[in-house]
Structure 1
Amino acid sequence: MDTRATHTVNDPKTKLSARLWESTKGIRDMAINTDFVQGIKNGKLDPEKFGVFCVEDSIYLYKQQHNIKVATEKAKPYPDQYTYLHKRIDSYKTLYEAEFKKWHVGKPEGISLGKDLKEYMDYEEDVALNRQSIYFLVALIPCLKLWPWLGQQIKDGNHGIYNDWAKANLDPDYVGFKTVDALIDEADEKGGIQEDEAMKIYTKCMEGEYKFFNSI
Structure 2
Amino acid sequence: MTLSARLWSENTDVTAQVLDHPFVRGIGDGSLPRELFAGYVAQDAFFLESFARAYAFALARSTDTATLLTLADLLAGVRDELGLHASYAESWGIDMSGVAPWSATLAYTEFLLATAAIQGPAAVYAAMTPCMRLYAWLGQSLDPDTAGPYTQWVQTYADPGFEALATQLETLLDEQHADTPAVHATYRRAMQLELGFFEAAFTA
What range describes the TM-score normalised by the shorter chain of this pair? 0.7 to 0.9
Distance 2:2 2:96 in 1: 43
CA shift for structure 1 position 119: 0.1
Q: How does 1:162-173 map to 2 (within 5 A)?
A: 162-168=150-156, 170-171=157-158, 173=160
Task: Decide which moves more: 111-120 or 146-155.
Answer: 146-155
Distance 2:55 2:143 in 1: 30
Among candidates 148, 151, 165, match of residue 136 of structure 2: 148
The AA in structure 2 aligned to 1:80 is: A
Superposition RMSD on alpha carbons, in Å?
2.1
Q: Is the 8 A contact 2:123 2:183 kept in 1?
A: yes
Distance 2:36 2:124 in 1: 30
CA shift for structure 1 position 133: 2.3
Q: How does 1:1-216 map to 2 (within 5 A)?
A: 14-75=1-62, 77-96=63-82, 99-100=85-86, 102-103=88-89, 107=97, 110-155=98-143, 158-168=146-156, 170-171=157-158, 173=160, 174-176=162-164, 177-188=166-177, 193-215=178-200, 216=202
Q: Any gaps of 5 or more consecutive residues in structure 2?
A: none
Distance 2:82 2:144 in 1: 29
CA shift for structure 1 position 26: 0.3
Matched positions, count: 195
Distance 1:79 1:186 in 2: 14
The AA in structure 2 aligned to 1:184 is: L
Q: 1:27-46 CA deviation, whole Å, 9 max, x = no partner?
A: 00010111110101111001
Distance 2:53 2:11 in 1: 26
Cα 1:156–1:106 change in 2 (3 A) is closer
Cα 1:184–1:20 change in 2 (3 A) is same
TM-score (norm 2): 0.85
Identical columns (%): 21
Instruction: Specify the SS of the correspondent of 1:83.
Output: helix
Q: Any gaps of 5 or more consecutive residues in structure 1?
A: 1-13
Distance 1:44 1:101 in 2: 20
Cα 1:106–1:116 change in 2 (3 A) is closer
Q: Is the 8 A contact 2:57 2:116 kept in 1?
A: yes
Structure ID, larger Rg: 1
The AA in structure 1 aligned to 2:47 is: Y
Distance 1:106 1:152 in 2: 28
> Which structure has greater helix proportion?
2
TM-score (norm 1): 0.81
